[in-house]
Amino acid sequence: MKAKFVRYSICICGFPILGDEIPIGTVYEVDPGNTTPVTVLCGGCGKQNEMTAIWVFSRAGERPGYLPRDIFEIEL
């Protein structure tokens, strides 16, 4: 399934989880059935954020892995 990257931050402080070299609107292939609960420590303010991560398949130059579900918009 396709998912569009729609936001850089998952924390209220706005600290980005991905670098700005990845443009908003980048489309990833994801597995919506492969999720896991995660705790992400913000690199900006240090707040612990509890969320669900979704499996993201590799793209050119990137490794596959889990990323926070909230940074994506799933395309149905």
Q: Using CA atoms, how far apart are residues 63 and 16, in angstroms rounded to an integer? A: 19
pLDDT above 90: percentage of residues in the chain: 82
Q: Mapping DSSP to helix (H, G, I), strand (E, B) and coil, where does residue 34 land? A: strand
Instruction: Grade residue 76 by pLDDT with cuts at 50, 70 and 90.
Output: low
**Within 10 Å of residue 73's Cβ, how many Cβ atoms?**
14
Domain ranges of the chain: 2-75
* Tens digits of residue pLDDT in 18-47: 888 889 999 999 999 999 999 999 999 999
Mean pLDDT, residues 45-66: 90
Please name the residue that has the structure tokens 């998912």.
Answer: 3
For the chain, the C-alpha Rg in angstroms (whole number) is 12
